[in-house]
Amino acid sequence: MDIFCLTFDSDLLTFSLEKGSVLTMLALERRLRIREILSAQRSISASALIQELGATSATIRRDLAALEKDGVLVRSHGGAVSRTSSTNFQPSYEALQRTNRAEKVAIAAAAEKMLLDGDTAFLESSTTVFELSRRLGGFSRLTVATNSPLVVCQLQRWAGVHVVCTGGDLQRHQFCLSGIWAQQVLSEIRVDKAFMGITAVDFRYGHSCASQAEAQVKRMLVKAGKQRIGMVDHSKFGNQAFVHVGPISDFTTIITDSGTDPAQIAGLRDAGVEVVVVEVDKHAAE
């Protein structure tokens, strides 16, 4: 019989599920990154993975073997080929929280600077936006609406933040609220600033996400926010997810990190989107 252990980190609000022996989070992060790469380009060589991830050849072989066992890929001579859809791949919320966290912290710090006391804001349910919710303790008069139970749990710590939760149907995989009740609230509010995560973005195609329920919330946020601020790390660029949400002009501003392809940044700016590029301190998230 398999024995599972569920652990909860109250500070990071993260979960991990372990079977039998402990699988290090570093290994989970590497394997998630391999899946992201294969989602974008369908195949990759082992040598490229070694260079991209800074891992040994033995480590990469173990990662590819584990992912092949999970049905994610097929190992080929010197590399791997994806067995999953490039548009339907959606990592778990807890895996996303651990991935590129230094980039998310830096992006959240830049987003915080865009807020003023007295603002009304919407914080959408992405892991990058969650990092922003952890930084709002210094405000004395802020109204924040959200469709994220985890953001609500974080914001209740801050006496200077008035919190409004949309309600709705819980999407367990994404820890967000959606559906008719959430849409009803969104149809009745207008906010100064709507902060949104982005699952996949390309300046030509626009932005997209994993489900129709999530896409509907994002489309309504585009209408609700005077300023629409996308918070997205470099790994999400040049990709397309299952459901197209809208054009890149939905956003007034996009905050990203310096690892983003300069061609993508140039394309965003040519489309009239303000782009804020942040430098990343890898030690900041430790």
pLDDT in tens, 162-171: 999 999 999 8
For residues 267 and 142, membership in a common domain is answered with: yes
CATH number for position 63: 1.10.10.10
Total domains, the chain: 2
**71/186: higher pLDDT:** 186
For residues 174 and 53, membership in a common domain is answered with: no
Residue 90 pLDDT exceeds 70: no
Residue 188 pLDDT exceeds 60: yes
For residues 72 and 212, membership in a common domain is answered with: no
- Res 284: pLDDT: 61
CATH number for position 266: 3.40.50.1360
Segment among 22-31, 43-52, 91-100, 167-176 with least mean pLDDT: 91-100
Residue 97 pLDDT exceeds 90: no
pLDDT over 90 for what percent of the chain?
A: 62
Pairing relationship of beta strands 120-123 and 142-146 according to DSSP bridges: parallel
Which domain does 178 fall in, by range? 100-278
pLDDT interval class at 16 (50, 70, 90): very low
Residue 28 pLDDT exceeds 60: yes
- Res 43: pLDDT: 80
* 88 in a structural domain: no
Pick the last residue of a domain from 54, 82, 110. 82
Cα torsion angle, 134, 136, 137, 141, sign: negative
Over residues 112-134, the mean pLDDT reads 97
Asked if residue 75 lies in contact with residue 69, where contact means CB atoms within 8 angstroms, the answer is: no
Cα torsion angle, 87, 89, 90, 91, sign: negative
Q: What is the pTM of this model?
A: 0.72
For residues 72 and 144, membership in a common domain is answered with: no
Asked if residue 25 lies in contact with residue 70, where contact means CB atoms within 8 angstroms, the answer is: no
- Res 250: pLDDT: 97
In whole angstroms, what is the distance from residue 71 CA to residue 67 CA?
Answer: 6
Residue 103 pLDDT exceeds 70: yes
Residue 5 pLDDT exceeds 60: no
Biggest CA-to-CA distance, the chain: 59
Query: Phi/psi of residue 152, each to 5°?
Result: -60, -45
pLDDT interval class at 42 (50, 70, 90): confident
Residue 89 pLDDT exceeds 70: no
- Res 91: pLDDT: 60
Residue 185 pLDDT exceeds 60: yes
Over residues 180-209, the mean pLDDT reads 95
Over residues 58-87, the mean pLDDT reads 82
In whole angstroms, what is the distance from residue 212 CA to residue 247 CA?
Answer: 16
